[in-house]
A and B are shown apart, each in its own frame.
Chain A
Amino acid sequence: MLIRISDDALARALGADALAEEFAKLGHEVHRVSSWGMHWLEPMVEIDGQGFGPATLDDVGAILDGASAKSIGKIAEHPFIARQQRLTFARAGKTRPTSIEDYEATGGWSGLRRARTIGPEAVIAEVLQSGLRGRGGAGFPAGIKWQTVAAARGPKKYIVCNADEGDSATFADRKVMEGDPFQLIEGMAIAGLAVGADQGYIYVRSEYPDAIRKLNLALMHCADIIAPFKCEVRVGAGAYVCGEETALLNSLEGKRGEVRAKPPLPALEGLFGKPTVVNNVLTLAAIPHILEEGGASHYDSHGINRSKGTMPIQLAGNIKHGGLFEVAFGITLRELVYDIGGGTESGRPVKAVQVGGPLGAYLHPDQFDIEFDYEAYAAVDALIGHAGLTVFDDTADMGGMARFAMEFCAAESCGKCTPCRIGAVRGVEIIDRIRSGGRVRDTLELAPQMHNAPKDAGRGPLEEIALLTDLCDTMKFGSLCALGGFTPYPVMSALKHWPEDFVGNAVVPEAAE
């Protein structure tokens, strides 16, 4: 019997390897395929399209007899899968990640072949037509970036794939690299052809050993196919800030991962000062589909307003049915969290959802009807980011989470700009003071010699909140990159919606807006 079990890092973390070994020991052929993305069912066993999960070694016998209580029926018809519109993740669950035969048999390389036929200008025109925007968070139109690099003069250009997926609640990049590495490489080769670059780098975080191994294997298999384009995997060194594109470029060059001021744009002066396309994994992985015959208009037919195509949304945190859900823009959080995600895993009411990773705003259940769209989120001071959703139940302490956002920023700041480096430390202190009831004047301030120091009772929580608001403004508008610039989003949204988690039963401050 042919047994299919995922070799995704998550499935392996939950015992998929032992399960696969057991089936093999019983004489069955086991294919290690990519993951379907239904994480609550991992490790999942697939036989003739039927799924069983979460499977343990004790379930093996019953699964083989077809009598297991873990059966979920036909996987493709499972509501979690059937409701999706999978373009980037079309192969998820269906192919062996590093098998070039599987990739070819499922339409692989057709985008690259067609790109070679139609030429660079037409490729860029199709990427523009598709409406694809950078999936890393900023949402900048990919076609315009490519156009800029293509128009830049210079003998050497680079394609850099940002695979430094450090945001909590995000794992879509990891799933592309582990589940469909050839698709990413094909996307990079097409980008190289479009802008005239012959060298690519994939900068992967060191926390993803499986992705690194599979990418290297895949690159070895397909070197001849993508030639003259060459591509190499580079491993990060545990710095979150290297997910910022200019810090990433410095890191690739072998420097401290400090953010560069823009301009110059990386598109004109990027890696080693050469014109460089820096795109996120999901952006590049969407390219092969777009370059297929009619792919651009098909992609453009999904989504709403200026948010075109599909977004691989990652359902994480305290959610019953967590996993990867690729769907056209326009879906609401209510559908995602309740209909698809099944509410919290703990069974308690949902208190907040953080969208877009550690730098994304906390959304209150009152905001769950906002459509998933870059501009609609921006309008309520939130961001889509990399489309990771972290669900919290009512036991969450939002004041504590706001403090953690500042603490995280302080720990991961590259130190280049003052608002982020110092502001984050001060932010933690102010939040601590808000939560402990304010600050009294110290002995020195009260000394008669200190003529200019106020001699009042000190700052109460409300004054401290005003100070925090002011600090957040400074960080938002004064930081060089999104780390310092976006840390105010989780802090201010938590303060706005759950002030009671900061000041207890004290008067809810209006000034916190």
Chain B
Amino acid sequence: MTDKAATIGAIIAAHHHREGPLLPVLHDVQAAFGCVDVEAEALIARGLNLSRADVHGVVSFYHDYTPTADPRPVVQICRAESCKARGVEQLMDGARAAAGARVKLHTVYCLGLCSSGPAARVGDTLHARLDADGLTKVIENA
């Protein structure tokens, strides 16, 4: 058994007793490998006694699961209404310039910091009240 199969097997075993275990399993697989690829889908399908189509349908539906891993650090920037009202769109050109090819910018709709936007998230660290310099710093440190 490959390492990958063993890891995914352990993840499935940890969640198997739960009702509706697929999403918790996918979260752990995504966290472990940075993606849920075709191979992982097949292993999960077998482990949970689902069809590969079922698993692929779920993986492709949700924004949090990706088919390939991206080694770049990710900066999530909120561009929902409240952050727009606080000027996030004016920061985007600068953000793209700061990110270049090194950092992946990911648009999200709402981080729940709507009174104090623009807001960004790197991993589990949140940033609020960002101006152009603040956002550039967040991206550079990502």
Contact = CB atoms under 8 A, between A and B. Distances in A.
Residue among A174, A207, A240, A272 with most chain B CB within 10 A: A207
A165 B116 contact: no
A254 B119 CA distance: 30
B20 A256 contact: no
Interface residues of A, number: 61
Contacts of B104: none
Nearest to B27: A235
A436 B57 CA distance: 38
Contacts of B20: 234, 252-254, 272
> Considering residues B27, B65, B86, B111, which has the most beta carbons from chain A within 10 angstroms of its beta carbon?
B86
Nearest to B81: A168
B85 A392 contact: yes
Interface in A1-26: 9-10, 12-14
Interface stretch (B2-10, B67-75, B94-102, B126-134): B126-134
A237 B81 contact: no
B113 interface: yes
A317 B62 contact: no
A256 B61 contact: yes
B23 A237 contact: yes
A467 to B, nearest CB: 25
Given A168-B109, A272-B19, A14 B27 contact: no
A234 B119 CA distance: 25
Given A239-B62, A252-B20, A208 B84 contact: no
B61 A257 contact: yes
A235 B23 contact: yes
A229 to B, nearest CB: 15
Given A10-B115, A209-B124, A169 B108 contact: no
Contact of A170 (B26, B61, B112, B124): B112
B113 A9 contact: yes
Interface in A338-381: 345, 354, 357-358
B32 to A, nearest CB: 15
B81 A169 contact: yes
B58 A13 contact: no
B91 interface: no
B80 interface: yes
A429 interface: no
A257 B58 CA distance: 8
Contacts of B85: 316-318, 390-393, 396
A253 B86 CA distance: 38
Contacts of A234: 20, 23-24
A358 B23 contact: no
Contact of A166 (B84, B109, B127): B109
Interface string A162-206: 000111111100100000000000000000000000000000001
Contacts of B112: 9-10, 165, 170-171, 174, 207-208
B142 interface: no
- Which of B18, B81, B84: most chain A CB closer than 10 A? B81
Interface of B: 18-24, 26-27, 57-58, 61-65, 78, 80-86, 108-117, 119, 121, 124-129
Interface of A: 9-10, 12-14, 39-40, 42, 165-171, 174, 206-210, 232, 234-240, 251-258, 272, 314-319, 322-323, 345, 354, 357-358, 388, 390-393, 396, 401, 404, 408, 412, 414
26 contacts: A10-B116, A14-B128, A14-B129, A165-B112, A166-B110, A168-B78, A168-B81, A168-B109, A169-B82, A171-B112, A206-B64, A207-B110, A207-B121, A209-B124, A237-B65, A254-B22, A257-B62, A272-B19, A314-B115, A317-B81, A317-B82, A317-B85, A354-B81, A358-B109, A393-B85, A404-B84
